[in-house]
Each structure stands twice: as structure tokens, then as C-alpha cells.
């Protein structure tokens, strides 16, 4: 079977899992590799293009696997990216409807909202600062269409970097008012501390993660644009969550964000 046939088959398997609500086997079993990232992004591209063609609006991009804690959790050694859509976004305190997620886990991270495009071949640290309108506290609800989170780098990349939903805080913070490298992070689930970290846990600084993303997307011809939300990656380990759970992330000077998963009836 040709690579293109395998890529189509893997993409279809992920779509079926998402539509049916039943997680699937790892797509590395179809692709015949656990490490070929180019093949995995080809799978991701198929489903992203189909989503856009169906009318879903791109709202930004997410960076995954930016903290050592998460790398160790899923056994990979490099970041990846996925596409955010407007229908994935929730505001601070808004309840997430039951049934939208398969195997959710929560992680706390910094979101950047861009004021200018990032379309250079190579970006500087200062390019990221100048392009950013403001930062927000955020929670990413990561999810996997792969059964039991049995993933390697190929599986998570193919599965849109395990995107689920994302929750944004409601108070924009100018960069001059916060040092994103030094901010503390504490995430609680039902008022019990579940994870801690700091801005430095995200590739040393959330701007380093954003710069990696900007360079990677520019090289693929899909640069970051003004208005995009950039979810820069976890500041600590992701934690399983379920119906009825309330998740709160506190980031010191950056603020606090909360979400709640609806109880299943």
C-alpha cells in the first residue's frame, strides 16, 4: 500500500473516532512507523483541510509537548503543533457541555493573542514580543482519539496534537506587566492542587515556544496571523479530568482561569 493510501486510512480512522465517540487504535499501526513526523503531519493536514472546508474557522494554533513533564508522560522529545478552531474556545467560567470530549486531560498554560503577523522565515525573540497584543491565563483540555492515550509522537501529531478544547481568561495582560518566564502556576481540580510549574517550564520561556511555532508554520506556508490565539504549551503535567470536575489555574500576575465540565445525565 502506498504512503498516500496509508495517510488517508489513518486520517479516516481518526475522523471516525471523533465522530463516533469511540477511541481508535494507534495510527502508527497503520503508518508503520512511530517516528515519521512528516507522515503524521500529512494525516493531520487532511483532517484540518476537511474541517476548514466544512466551515470551521481557524482561531489559532497550539504547541504541544513543551514541558519535560509532558515529554516524559508520553515518551517524546520534541514539540508539535495543532490547529485551534473557534468552536473549541471557551471563556473563563463557562461550563463545558457533556459529550464533547473522549478522554480529557487538563493542563495550564499561557495564551498569547497576536496583533501582527509572524511570517518571517526565521523569527527573533523580539519579533514574538512585538507581534503579541497581550497574554491570557489559559487551560487546555487536551484529548486523544487514540484509545487509552496509547500514543507516540506520530499518533499525537496525526491527531491534531491531541487538541480538545481551550479556555481563556477574561483579563488581557500587557506584556510589560508580567514576566512570563517567572510566573508561577498552580492548577487545582475540585479545589485540590493537581499540578504546579512556572513559565520557564515551557521550553525555558513561552516566547521560545511561540518562536518555534512561528518558524515551523512559516516554513510550511501557513504563518501565524494577527488575531490568532497561540497556546504556548503546558507549564506542568497534564491531569485526567471527568464530568463534574472544576479546574482552576492560577498564574500569579497573569491571573486566574476556571472551567467546569458538565455532569453527565
Q: Which residue has the cell 514580543?
A: 129
Q: What is the pTM of this model?
A: 0.96
pLDDT digits (tens, 9 = 90+) for 127-153: 999 999 999 999 999 999 999 999 999
pLDDT digits (tens, 9 = 90+) for 204-253: 999 999 999 999 999 999 999 999 999 999 999 999 999 999 999 999 99
Instruction: Copy the grid coordinates of residue 94.
Output: 463557562
CA 189 to chain CA mean position, Å: 19
DSSP state of 153: H
Q: What is the pLDDT of residue 78?
A: 77
* Listed residue (180, 202, 195, 181) closest to 106, CA to CA: 195
- For the packed helices 3-20 and 37-53, what is the interaxial angle rounded to 10 degrees? 50
Task: Set out the domains of the chain in order of their start, with CATH numbers.
Answer: 57-261 (3.90.850.10)
Amino acid at each position: 500500500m502506498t504512503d498516500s493510501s496509508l495517510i488517508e486510512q489513518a486520517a479516516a480512522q481518526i475522523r471516525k473516532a471523533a465522530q463516533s465517540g469511540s477511541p481508535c487504535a494507534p495510527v502508527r499501526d497503520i503508518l508503520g512507523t512511530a517516528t515519521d513526523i512528516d507522515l503524521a503531519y500529512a494525516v493531520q493536514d487532511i483532517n484540518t483541510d476537511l474541517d476548514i472546508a466544512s466551515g470551521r474557522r481557524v482561531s489559532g494554533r497550539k504547541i504541544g509537548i513543551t514541558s519535560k513533564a509532558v515529554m516524559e508522560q508520553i515518551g517524546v522529545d520534541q514539540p508539535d503543533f495543532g490547529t485551534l478552531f473557534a468552536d473549541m474556545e471557551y471563556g473563563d467560567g463557562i461550563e463545558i457541555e457533556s459529550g464533547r470530549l473522549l478522554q480529557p486531560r487538563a493542563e495550564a498554560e499561557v495564551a498569547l493573542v497576536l496583533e501582527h503577523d509572524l511570517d518571517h522565515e526565521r523569527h527573533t525573540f523580539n519579533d514574538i514580543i512585538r507581534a503579541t497584543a497581550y497574554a491570557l491565563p489559559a487551560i487546555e483540555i487536551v484529548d486523544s482519539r487514540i484509545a487509552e492515550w496509547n500514543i507516540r509522537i506520530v499518533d499525537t501529531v496525526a491527531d491534531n496534537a491531541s487538541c480538545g478544547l481551550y479556555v481563556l481568561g477574561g483579563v488581557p495582560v500587557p506584556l510589560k506587566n508580567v514576566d512570563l518566564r517567572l510566573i508561577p502556576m498552580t492548577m487545582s481540580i475540585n479545589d485540590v492542587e493537581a499540578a504546579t510549574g512556572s513559565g520557564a517550564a515551557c521550553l525555558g520561556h513561552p516566547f521560545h515556544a511561540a518562536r518555534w511555532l512561528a518558524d515551523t508554520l512559516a516554513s510550511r506556508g501557513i504563518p501565524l496571523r494577527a488575531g490568532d490565539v497561540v497556546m504556548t504549551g503546558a507549564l506542568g503535567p497534564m491531569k485526567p479530568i471527568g464530568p463534574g470536575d472544576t479546574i482552576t489555574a492560577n498564574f500569579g500576575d497573569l491571573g486566574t482561569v476556571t472551567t467546569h465540565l458538565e455532569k453527565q445525565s
